Amino acid sequence: MTSRPAAVPAAVPAAVPSNLPATQPAAPTAIPPAGVPAASPWPVFWIASIAVLLVSIDATVLYAAFGTLRAAFPQASAGDLSWVLNAYTVTYAAMLIPAGGLADVHGRKRMFLAGALLFLAGSAACGAAGSIGLLIAARELQAIGAALLTPASLSLILDAFPQSRRAVAVSLWGAVGGLAAAIGPSLGSLIVDAMGWEWAFYINLPIGAVSLVAGVKRLRESRIPGRVQHVDLVGMALLVVAVGGAALVLTQYESRAWSGNALGIAGAVSVAALVAFVAWAATARHPLVDLALFRNPTYSAVNLATLSFSVAFAMMFFGFFAFMTGVWHFSLPLAGVAVTPGPLMVVPVAILGGRLAARHGHRPVLVGGALLYAASGAWLALVPGPTPAYWTHWFPGLLLSGIAVGLVLPSLSGAATARLPQQQYGVGSAVNQAVRQIGGVLGVAIAVVLVGGNAVTRADFTVAYLVQAGLALLTGVFCLAVETRPVAR
């Protein structure tokens, strides 16, 4: 159960309504000469998916490794350590929106390979980092690589498959994220416990190298000819300052290294950057975020719901490991196995939720999932005690959360683009994913404040899970404004 680096766009070329105008040509799919059998698109799928799998796993591994990192860098506070997670997410959120356009203009293969190379270089640098500052810098390098390769990977898959098979391919690409969610925490906990936190990053190198070498040989270049991509550096910088400043204030408000005045200034700068970002987006010729998107009431509601749910989701996953190891004193590998049943529910429930949304619209799926998620938070807040009782006290809440995430996360992505015109599918999906990443930053920051210390108690988790339940209810309220029911013909 993790927030994937990039979710599957709900509207893929195979499902675009014919009455919507196309404003940019799709990259042509190569047609083999007569008598020559068409090359199978599946090697392209697996090359692209392996890289995205690593990106997804790498984000979830660190939830399991947080306690080990705290022991490896005892001079760093919990707030400092949170930036090992948050520096990656803030940079990824800012880079994700223009990354798809860069791939379209400069070549999907080129951007995919460049992103994979940067991601692997960042992974190596993370494992070799001797200080928390170097580790955070290396995580930012990883994030740049992840942002470049993720949208390029989906574009390569769409280009490789014929129109009639694209929907299946995109669904499978989305399932890769579900697989990463299922194996990331348990795999990460086993690796970190047996080999050390460095191998949470080093493990990327041999697997990623296979994707990189195979990509050089097997992927073919594609781009949209004649299109110019504008990169809004001002907008990106303002977004990073706004989100990063808010996370800094949340994580450091009890730190002795930061005075109240300094944090007050940081908070003011964060708010000013957010206001400036909106003002810039309203006046710039080529803004990072087109504010016209938010004139669509469903799109606005979905993004508010995405923000609140992503905060709750990040708090939940961080809290899982903190509770298991800090209150019940499970070993890290046992904690990883203990949280796995929840993520395993995501993929089959997401398939069912997608079918229900196609028939009845996304609102009932989203509201129902949000209520289930609130119920799981309430259960975990009130039922598990200080004495381990996994099957009777923890497992029911974990199962509820897995079902809820399977209903909500994919449906948020689908609802985000369901009522947008065709020319806004790409940017609309990217903005929604960036909002999800921003929510993850805030969720980690809040969780670190509540349950990220060395001496957590059961009472700390009661507060954390009740906050999670409240955010889930807020998500359901936002989703009441979502309208994506199929139009009767």
Same-domain check for residues 193 and 327: no
Q: Given a cut of 80, is residue 387 above it in pLDDT?
A: yes
Look at the alpha carbons of 240, 89, 68, 384 in this order and tell me if their dihedral is positive or negative: positive
Question: Which domain range does residue 311 map to?
Answer: 290-489
Residue 121 domain-assigned (yes or no): yes
Same-domain check for residues 48 and 62: yes
- Residue 85 belongs to a domain with what CATH number? 1.20.1250.20
Same-domain check for residues 351 and 333: yes
Same-domain check for residues 244 and 302: no
Same-domain check for residues 366 and 482: yes
Average pLDDT over residues 338-352: 85
How does pLDDT run across 176-221, given as a tens digit for each residue? Answer: 765 676 677 778 788 888 899 999 899 999 999 999 999 999 898 8
Cα–Cα distance for residue pair 237/227, rounded to 1 Å: 24
Same-domain check for residues 272 and 373: no
Cα–Cα distance for residue pair 473/362, rounded to 1 Å: 16
Cα–Cα distance for residue pair 484/353, rounded to 1 Å: 14
Whose structure tokens read 């498959």? Answer: 161
CB atoms within 10 A of CB 440: 28
Average pLDDT over residues 316-331: 89
Same-domain check for residues 317 and 436: yes
pTM of the complete model: 0.77
Cα–Cα distance for residue pair 457/448, rounded to 1 Å: 14
Of 159, 192, 157, nearest to 62 by C-alpha is 192
Number of domains forming the structure of the chain: 3
Residue 5 domain-assigned (yes or no): no
Residue 210 domain-assigned (yes or no): yes
Residue 311 domain-assigned (yes or no): yes
Same-domain check for residues 415 and 487: yes
Amino acid identity of residue 89, one-letter, is: T
Same-domain check for residues 218 and 238: no
Same-domain check for residues 268 and 376: no
Average pLDDT over residues 2-27: 36
With residues binned 3-state (H G I as helix, E B as strand, rest as coil), the percentages for the chain, rounded to 5, are 75, 0, 25
Angle at 484 between CA 480 and CA 485, to 5 degrees: 105
Residue 186 domain-assigned (yes or no): yes
Q: Are 336 and 190 in contact (CB under 8 A)?
A: yes
Q: Are 136 and 89 in contact (CB under 8 A)?
A: no
Same-domain check for residues 74 and 109: yes
Residue 214 domain-assigned (yes or no): yes
Per-residue pLDDT band at 354 (split at 50, 70, 90):
confident
Last residue of some domain: 267, 287, 307? 287
Residue 95 domain-assigned (yes or no): yes
How does pLDDT run across 45-82, given as a tens digit for each residue? Answer: 999 888 888 887 877 677 778 888 888 998 888 878 88
Residue bearing the bigger pLDDT, 237 or 381:
381
Same-domain check for residues 326 and 282: no
Residue 22 domain-assigned (yes or no): no
